[in-house]
Structures are given as structure tokens and as C-alpha cells.
Amino acid sequence: MPITLDPSLPRPLYPLAWLIGSWEGSGALQSTEDGAPGRRVEQQLDCTAQEDGTLSWVSRIHVIDAPAPLPPTSAFSRDDAPAPAPSGTGERSLLHREEGVWRVGDLLPGQDVAAAESARPGTPASALSSALEVHLERRGEEPEDWVGEVRGPRVQLALTAPGAAAEGTSVVTAARMFGYVSGRLMWLWERRTPVPDGAPGETALTPYLSLELHRV
């Protein structure tokens, strides 16, 4: 589905034009217990352009006492995930409300800007990667500063432990991936967790939330 660029949109937000708007949809909250089925979640998301060239992010995610959607709606879902048995009361509870600010930075170095500008608009060759900074806050939790990049209709973000840069480390504690596919917004949130039956202290990024949203 083509993206119509609003001529009043601040120029720094051009790379995120596909994300701007209101979205809602459902997905899965992965269980922290090995082998346990995921729970259904529903999200309402508002991404609003600000006059200063930043993007306002307001997300509300509710967990539903019901199995995760089947068949899986997320393009990021695992093929080996066990099918949950029909169960649950359908009761809704707020998982979290998240607010934040997205800021697009400079083009990342090492790109052929001239070639991208001469390519046909909308093709992969025309896409350039820009740096991205995202500040997020959730009630009862420490604020988070994510960094990553936006390239065409895709975003990758990473979160490192506080103070990691000062200590010379770069272990990613969480990651988020967003993609605009056929008019839908699909995204995955991973968190670093202990590896079951792994070596002492061994951890890996594992799915936490996966959602598929449609524009409203």
C-alpha cells in the first residue's frame, strides 16, 4: 500500500511517514515459563507528528485472559510455538501504558546517497538509513533510551544496560523491530532472558511481545 506524504509534515519525519497515525490490533505475550502458551494482547497506538520534527508515541497494551491468536497474526511469530488450548475468561488488564519521543538523526555513513536519489522512488535502492533515537517511559519503570535506524518502512532499535557505554560494553538487553507490510504494522519486542538449560549466566534475546496492527 503506497504512503501518501503529507506536505505539512516536518522534513525530519519523512523517513517515518509510514508510521504516523493511529493503529490497533492484537498479538501475543510470550510466557516466561518454558513451554507455556502465550497470552493474547491488544494494542492501541498513536504516533503523532510534532512541530519540532519529533514523533510522539503513546501505546496502550492490554493482556487478555485468552490464548494468543491462532493462526499467528504476526510475521515475526515462531513456527515452533505450541498451539494453546482454548481457555480463558476474556478478562482485560492493562499490561502497560508507554509514552515517548522518536527523533530521526543524520544519515548513517557509508551510503551511496547519489545512487539512492537517482533510483526509482519506493524501490529498495532508493532507501537510505537514518539514525534513530527513541526515549520511552512506562509507569513504575526506569525511562529507556533506545537507539537504532530507520530504512524505508523498517525500524530496528536496541537497548543497552544503563552505563554500558561508559563501561565500554555493548550488550543489547532488548530489541524492537518494526515493519510496514501490505498496509499493516508488524512489530516484535525481544528481551534478554536466561537460556533454559544453558551455561551459568548464559542469556539470549527472546520474544516478549509480537503484534500486528492495522491503521484506524
State the pLDDT at residue 55.
98
Q: Are 134 and 100 in contact (CB under 8 A)?
A: yes
Task: Determine, yes or no, domain membership for 178.
Answer: yes
Query: Could you tell me the residue range of the domain that residue 55 belongs to?
Result: 11-215
Give yes or no for residue 100 having a pLDDT over 90: yes
pLDDT tens-digit map of 126-144: 999 999 999 999 999 999 9
Number of domains the chain contains? 1
CATH code, 67: 2.40.128.20
Report the pLDDT averaged over residues 73-89. 56
Whether 139 maps to a domain, the answer reads yes
Residue 126 lies in a domain: yes
pLDDT tens-digit profile of 169-195?
678 999 999 999 999 999 999 999 998
Cell 507455556 sits on residue: 36
CA distances from 162 to 59, 69, 84 (A): 23, 35, 36
What is the C-alpha separation between 125 and 115, in angstroms, rounded?
A: 8
Task: Note the pLDDT of residue 72.
Answer: 45
Residue 4 within any structural domain of the chain: no
Quick check: is 2 in a domain? no
Percent of the chain as helix, strand, coil, to the nearest 5: 5, 50, 45
With bands split at pLDDT 50, 70 and 90, how would you rate the model's confidence at 71? very low
What local confidence, expressed as pLDDT, does residue 85 receive? 54
Report yes or no on 5 lying in a domain.
no
Whether residue 161 lies inside any domain: the answer is: yes
Contacts 24+ apart (CB under 8 A), 166-172: 172/205
State whether residue 69 is helix, strand or coil: coil
Between 197 and 32, name the one with better pLDDT.
Answer: 197
Q: What is the pTM of this model?
A: 0.86
CA distance 190 to 109: 27
- 156 falls within a domain: yes
